[in-house]
Amino acid sequence: MDLHTNGGMICSTKKCEVPIFGQAWFKPKSITNIISMSEMVDKHHVTYDSHKEDAFVVHLPTNNIKFKCSINGLYYYKPTEIQQYNNVKLQLLSSLEDNKKFYSAEQFEHAKKARNLYDALGHPTFPNMKAIIRMNMITNNLITKGFLALI
């Protein structure tokens, strides 16, 4: 499965079992799983009423789960907002605001510059990005390999 994102292309040949929802594409080093809307509709009743709220509701036998729209236009759900399921392990993701707390303002600015350079170069692989920086292939580049760990 190839998925084109604002961060580049993601290729995955693996699937995992997501509690409640079934199988999803995943990459071991990614921070989230992608659940196809068409596959979700095949398994569950899904509703969307933009007059009421910008959210999809997945109707399960025991409850409803709401996928809200983020400021980036992607739909997500937070496992902490649903009722507790017996013997189900959930991994929670942090928001950008949560992650910013672990970095200084200067580190955050460096990360934004590194991300802008990464985007401007057309999303090369990280080994290629490191090689470009290491070999000084960009004139007057202030980004070092250390900044790549921040993006």
126 CB contacts (<8 Å, ≥6 apart)? 148
Which range (5-9, 11-15, 16-20, 69-73) has the least confidence? 5-9
Query: Residue 23: its pLDDT value, please?
Result: 75
Q: Give the DSSP per-residue string, 25-79.
A: EE-TT-SS-B--HHHHHHHSEEEE-TTT-SEEEEE-SS-EEEEEEPTTS-EE--G
Q: Is 43 found in the same domain as 88?
A: yes
Q: Does pLDDT of 5 surpass 70? A: no
Number of domains in the chain: 2
CA–CA separation, 67 and 77 (whole Å): 5
Q: Is 70 found in the same domain as 46?
A: yes
Q: 73: which 2 tokens?
A: 């236009």
Query: Residue 82: its pLDDT value, please?
Result: 47
Q: Is 122 found in the same domain as 72?
A: no
Q: Give the residue carrying structure tokens 């659940």.
A: 35
Q: Is 78 found in the same domain as 54?
A: yes
Work out the average pLDDT over 1-9: 61
User: Which structural domain range is residue 51 located in?
Assistant: 2-93
Q: Is 119 found in the same domain as 49?
A: no
Q: Is 75 found in the same domain as 127?
A: no
CA–CA separation, 121 and 28 (whole Å): 25
Query: Residue 52: its pLDDT value, please?
Result: 92
Q: 37: which 2 tokens?
A: 């809307």
Q: Give the residue carrying structure tokens 């400021």.
A: 71
CA–CA separation, 28 and 88 (whole Å): 19
- pLDDT grade, residue 14 (50/70/90)? confident
pLDDT 10s digits, 36-91: 788 788 888 999 999 999 999 999 888 888 888 887 777 887 766 544 544 555 55
pLDDT 10s digits, 91-138: 555 566 666 777 788 888 888 888 888 888 888 887 888 888 888 888
Query: Residue 76: its pLDDT value, please?
Result: 81
Q: Is 65 found in the same domain as 9?
A: yes
Q: Is 53 found in the same domain as 34?
A: yes
Task: Using CA atoms of 27, 29, 33, 39 in order, give the dihedral in degrees to the nearest 10.
Answer: 0
